[in-house]
Amino acid sequence: MEAQRRRAWYPSIAVVLAVTDVLLILLGTRVGFPKLLVWVPAVAGPALAFAAFRGAGALTGGALRTFWRRLSLGMGTVVVAALSQAIDVSTTRYSGMPPIGARTLLLYVIGTVLAISAMLRLPGGGRSWRQLTTAVLDVAVVAVTAGIAASQYVGWFIDRFGVSASAWWLNIAMMAIAVAGVVVVVKIMSARRSPVPRSALWWLAPVGLCGPLSTVLMSVLSPWPHLNGSAAVLPFVGMFGVLAAYAQRRAMTAGAGGAHPSRSLNPSAHRRGTAVPLVATGLTSVLLATVFVRTGHLTVVQVGGTALLLLLVVARQAVALADNATLLTTVAHQAMHDDLTGLFGRRYFTAAVAGARGPHTVVLIDLKEFRTLNDGLGPDAGDELLVAYASRLGGLAGDGTVVARLGGDEFGLLLAGTQSDVADRVVAANAEPLHAAGHEVLVDVSVGIAEGDAGDLYRRAELALREAMTGTGGSVIRYDASLERELTQRATIAADLRRGLTAGEFHMLYQPIVELPHGRLVGVEALVRWTRADGRVVSPADFIPIAEDTGLIVDLGAWIIDTVCAQAAAWQREHGPEALRSVAVNVSARQLLDPGLPDLVAGALAGHGVPAKLLTVEITETAVFGGGRALATVHALSELGVSLALDDFGTGHSSLGLLRTCPVDAIKVDKSFVDGLGGTPQQEAIVTALTGIAETMGLRTVAEGVETAEQAQRLFELGYRYAQGFLFARPLPPSAIDAMLQQNHHIAA
């Protein structure tokens, strides 16, 4: 950690060294100072880059670590070369251009070759033959452009320094450094995939210009012996190197070791490559125009190189256009097809439905419980299941049918004509299991069908599928006008529900829970009611499911919990803390998926001063049968100290194991079982069994829907001690419960 904190300062230090170098050069043209002064930032800059490269290697692994270590070896050699040149300058008498020995030149060349080797051995990712050809042509374009520029540079070099052995060695060293820059640029442009971040490669690119630039600066600064062209550029070599390593460090911190493969497949990555011929031809044009204006003619190398460059650019662009056409075809295919199954995608399917002429049939299919299967068997098995089902659909559909995966576990069929029997074939095929990751899986489906020649067949099929998925009308639903009316009604209720909640149109009624056999009030169940502003009463059976679907049940439930707690607190203040043993409130499956529900309940209890044990939260078996977040919420509620009751017990998944995994305190036996009392032993079997199970497990039992005295008597004989139903009272307003509590008080007195 300490080393990482130190490296965070490297970019700032490198910039300061570069700025210091510029200031020294500017000052050196005015006043004299020791020759070695300019070499302090010249050596410190590359040394800092060497340390930064080593640090980047330590942060990475694999090909990245190898790359940065090879690069650090090259930069370390440059540091040694800079020290060698500083020794040359300090031990040799000279006037004019500073000396540079053979040892120093050799070190510069070795460092450059090592850097080039690191770049060339950096993996660039797989390519198609067109992409490989484009990369080769890019290299050729840059090489020809560099050759044209090099011919002019060599001419200038000979005019300035002559053709001595030392001059030629210097020229070779500078050309090698320039080649390093060319290699970096070509690597950036041609690599389809690179583990090194593109930004890091771009920071390395200017390093190749420093060699030729140092030669130019040697000539410019020759009147001042204490200044040096190499010393002028080396701090910038260090700065660009440090910034490249910093780009790598930032990429690692962000969780991306380099160019992500998925990004490299983006078409824009290929379009950026067009900068190679544009930049090359632009620079060549500027260079040749400058030479022609100054000399009035062009050399054979320059003219021939320009002609070759134009041919390469034309060839490169031709290959790139062919590659782009292939890429566009691939993108168009991917846009219209599903990657996993190979079927058509939603976009193609909706377009095909919209463009259909004449009678057609649209069938939408949803795999039931797919999420549970996917979670239980794993995502790989889930994918295999989808592929297997797609293959089954393709076999069922026949020729001329559009088969599509619309997303997730939803599929679609578009058939010519009216073919209602296709749904029967789809359902019948599910009798055969599908094979997925070594498992044999039976799938069940919900199917929505719409037939006709109207343009909104897809929407109609969606309505039918939505109805089928609710499970109230069967697993196969065919669209008819009643679905449209129901949708309109549901939309109206949903809009009014939100408005009514804001306007205070909801109120609570409380149905008594009594103790058998005498019928004394011991608790209440809170029931929400809605009376619209126009006086019309909306049944809970109509608005509760809509509140569930729209998510408004969360807001409505929060209001109910707060209102019930406030009323419970009022009853306690009025009639004493022991007046009621339980005030029950129903919580829906959607509310149990809200992780904030326990905090909401805790806040309502604390806000109104209600003891947790007084509140009973009623849940259904179906809501918690699958476990997961809902069951975790139930455990959190139990930890608050509130009581938990399983409502409508026996009508849901009915797993007795649920009584062990779910921390319930009571079970409420559904009315459908109470109605069987007084009949045959078989009709009374469940009611009889449940009281025995509850007694053994220490649970309270409450019988719901008691309507006759005979039922109440029989329940008492079977061991039931609590009941509710119309025999005792219908749901009542708080004032009526007040009166019953007052009556209890008088009886007790």
Q: State mean pLDDT over 549-555.
A: 88
Residues 596 and 710 in one domain: yes
Residue 693's pLDDT is what?
Answer: 84
More confident residue, 572 or 747: 572
Residue 269's pLDDT is what?
Answer: 42
Tokens of 237: 């070599």
Residues 733 and 650 in one domain: yes
User: Domain boundary at 426, 456, 479, which?
Assistant: 479
Most confident of the following: 56-60, 512-516, 538-542, 648-652: 512-516
Asked if the model's pLDDT at residue 646 lies above 60, the reply is yes
Residues 97 and 180 in one domain: no
Asked if the model's pLDDT at residue 155 lies above 60, the reply is no
* Res. 746 pLDDT band, cuts 50 70 90: low
Q: What is the pLDDT of residues 416-438, one digit of tens each?
A: 887 767 777 888 888 888 888 77
Q: Which residues, listed in sequence order, are joined to residue 363 by a DSSP beta bridge?
A: 413, 449
Best CA proximity match to 287, nearest among 268, 308, 302:
302
* DSSP conformational letter for 725: S
Asked if the model's pLDDT at residue 261 lies above 50, the reply is no
Q: What is the CATH number of the domain that holds 456?
A: 3.30.70.270
What three-state secondary structure class fits 42? helix
Residue 484 lies in a domain: no
User: Domain boundary at 260, 292, 314, which?
Assistant: 260
Mean pLDDT for the chain overall: 80
* Res. 525 pLDDT band, cuts 50 70 90: very high
* Res. 623 pLDDT band, cuts 50 70 90: confident
Residue 620 lies in a domain: yes
Residues 131 and 273 in one domain: yes
Residues 213 and 326 in one domain: no
Q: What is the CATH number of the domain that holds 710?
A: 3.20.20.450
CA distance 152 to 283: 13
Residues 635 and 695 in one domain: yes
In residues, how long is the chain?
749
Residues 150 and 233 in one domain: no
**Number of compact structural domains in the chain:** 4
Q: What percent of the chain has pLDDT over 90?
A: 25
More confident residue, 267 or 276: 276
Contacts (Cβ under 8 Å, ≥6 apart) of 90: 35, 36
Q: Is the dihedral of CA 564, 565, 569, 570 positive or negative?
A: negative
Using DSSP, how many helices (H) and how many strands (E) does the chain show? Answer: 31, 16
Residues 452 and 512 in one domain: no
Asked if the model's pLDDT at residue 166 lies above 90, the reply is no
CA distance 82 to 84: 5
Cα–Cα distances (Å) from 612 to 174, 697, 741, in that order, read 83, 22, 20
Residue 89's pLDDT is what?
Answer: 83
User: Domain boundary at 260, 291, 307, which?
Assistant: 260
Q: What is the CA radius of gyration of the chain?
A: 41
Residue 340 lies in a domain: no
**Active site members:** 704
Residue carrying the six token digits 């200031």: 23
Q: What is the pLDDT of residues 351-409, one digit of tens each?
A: 888 888 888 889 899 988 787 777 777 888 888 888 888 888 888 877 778 889 988 88
CA distance 493 to 328: 47
Asked if the model's pLDDT at residue 263 lies above 50, the reply is no
Residues 580 and 450 in one domain: no
Residues 600 and 612 in one domain: yes
CA distance 662 to 621: 10
Residues 289 and 436 in one domain: no
Name which of 165-179, 331-345, 664-678 the model is least confident about.
165-179
More confident residue, 43 or 472: 43
More confident residue, 412 or 648: 412
Residue 148's pLDDT is what?
Answer: 63
Residue 695's pLDDT is what?
Answer: 85
Residues 373 and 455 in one domain: yes
- Give me the domain span that covers residue 354: 346-479
CA distance 37 to 133: 50
Residue 88 lies in a domain: yes
More confident residue, 395 or 525: 525
Residue 174 lies in a domain: yes
Other CB atoms within 10 A of residue 318 CB:
13
What three-state secondary structure class fits 516? coil
Other CB atoms within 10 A of residue 483 CB:
19
Residue 485 lies in a domain: no
Residue 486 lies in a domain: no
Residue 742 lies in a domain: yes
CB 448 within 8 A of CB 483: no
Prediction pTM value: 0.51
Other CB atoms within 10 A of residue 75 CB:
28
Asked if the model's pLDDT at residue 262 lies above 50, the reply is no
Residue 259's pLDDT is what?
Answer: 40
Q: What is the pLDDT of residues 75-126, one digit of tens each?
A: 999 899 889 988 888 887 766 666 677 788 788 888 888 887 787 676 655 4
Mark 138-151 as b/e (b = at least 16 C-beta within 10 Å).
bbbbbbbbbebbbb
* Res. 190 pLDDT band, cuts 50 70 90: low
Q: Which residues, listed in sequence order, are joined to residue 585 by a DSSP beta bridge?
A: 526, 617
